[in-house]
Chain A
Amino acid sequence: MHGRKAYELVKEFADGEKGHLKIFNNELFERVIEECNEHHNALQSLIRKMQEEGLEVQTARNADHYGALIHHLSLIRNKRCLMAYVYNRAEIIRELAWKVGLLHELPGEIQEKFSDSEEQYFKDHSKSLKSYMSQLSLDVNVDMVPPKDPYIKVRVLEDLGSGIILSDKSANFARHSMHFLKRTDAEQYVARGLMEELTG
């Protein structure tokens, strides 16, 4: 049936968890493009047939016309599915760039799900975000709610060592050690799950 492969592609995306990526399904993607080419060829051969019969392609409404129409609609449908697949994945990738990608590498298990061009897109997006922020000299990625206290208490969950220099101090961030940090400094580590915020 027409457009079935394209449907499978979109369905696969929809079945995934929200905000999570699956591996880019190159095989199915290529298959849909191939199908588009088949539709295109069929469409052209039908139109050629009509021209050979001396019919006005614009106005004739014979069986060939409706056949061509069906191929045309299938082509458009396939295009929409392909575009939606890429577009919605790009949306997730942009979000990843905002959430985790600004200062650090993405974890390997997420990165391996990108296609080549998606990887490039992620890098470029992170880069332009960074340059925008440095032009503004403002971090637009911090928590939107103003803090009651600029400092928070955090516990380190994974050994980070002493190599990290924060804006106002450097300390040995050993595992399970607790620190009193500037909220803006701690935020990125909490987001990546390397520290947790302590309350109370």
Chain B
Amino acid sequence: MANYYNIDDILAEEEFVPVVFHKAANGVIIDPSSETNSVEQGAKVELPLWLAQDLYLRQAISISVPACFNQRTRLEIQADAACVDLKSRSPYFYEFGCKIAPLVGDKTIEILLLSAFKIRYKEILTKAYTAAYTTASKFLTLLTKEESNLYEAAQVSMSAFKKWRMGGPRLQRASVLGRKRRSFE
């Protein structure tokens, strides 16, 4: 398990996956179509990954490939990976993909993730260094969490480099306080 306290890891596991129950379960309300508070054998339900994962390991359910890795997404990524809106598919597209791939036994997901990441990584770094904020903001809405972290990291390192080259004061106001004051004045 990744870091127990990791916020991103927790959020990535909240993504929903379509599952089929092989065993019935009593006393739980997770099947919206069921009228009693139980799940019948063969019921098709969407469950968050954290629940599906353990039920799958105990052979209570089988998992199918979630919608964000469907054929349409694959075709779009093949066409031009850099322009695909991955954030709306899942803000944790890569993490989710890595977690789901061994569960559904689909080797092509890994290849898809890798090729998408390679192309987009290059694009993100280029944009982080060159694009003005106004043009970049549209591009930023397409990025997953991981990718926008990368984008920010690239920008921070760029500005750190500029600062180093130009020189300037070393001591600065603690950033926690910085933001608050400007709204005052």
Contacts and interface: CB of A to CB of B under 8 A. Distances in A.
Interface of A: 1-3, 7, 10-11, 13-14, 17, 19-20, 42, 45-46, 61, 63-64, 66-71, 73-74, 77, 80-81, 83-84, 87-88, 95-96, 99-100, 107, 109-110, 143, 145, 147, 152, 183, 186-187, 190-193, 196-199
B55 A70 contact: yes
Contacts of A20: 176, 179
A10 B169 contact: no
Interface in B23-58: 23-28, 30, 38-39, 48, 50-51, 54-55, 58
Contacts of B7: 10, 13-14, 84, 88
Contacts, number: 130
A77 B177 contact: no
B21 to A, nearest CB: 8
B75 interface: no
B11 A67 contact: no
Given A14-B8, A81-B10, A191 B171 contact: yes
B10 A67 contact: no
B169 to A, nearest CB: 4
A100 B5 contact: no
A85 B165 CA distance: 40
B5 A83 contact: yes
Contacts of A81: 10
Contact of A66 (B4, B60, B176, B180): B60
A77 B27 contact: no
Majority DSSP secondary structure for residues of A touching B: helix
Given A14-B11, A20-B179, A88-B5, 12 more contacts: A7-B10, A17-B179, A69-B58, A70-B25, A70-B30, A80-B10, A95-B176, A100-B174, A110-B176, A143-B171, A197-B170, A197-B172
B173 interface: yes
Contacts of A110: 176, 180
B169 A198 contact: yes
B4 A83 contact: yes
A129 B5 CA distance: 24
Interface in B136-185: 167-181
A-B interface, 6 closest residue pairs, ranked by CB to CB distance from nearest:
A66-B25, A197-B169, A63-B24, A193-B173, A67-B26, A67-B27
B30 A1 contact: yes
A19 B171 contact: no
B51 A193 contact: no
Contacts of B10: 7, 10, 80-81, 84
Contacts of B24: 63, 66
A178 to B, nearest CB: 14
Instruction: Name the residue among A71, A183, A190 with the largest chain B CB count within 10 angstroms.
Output: A190
Contacts of B23: 61, 63, 66
A64 B39 CA distance: 11
7 contacts: A7-B10, A66-B23, A70-B28, A187-B171, A191-B173, A192-B174, A199-B169
Given A96-B176, A109-B180, A84 B27 contact: no
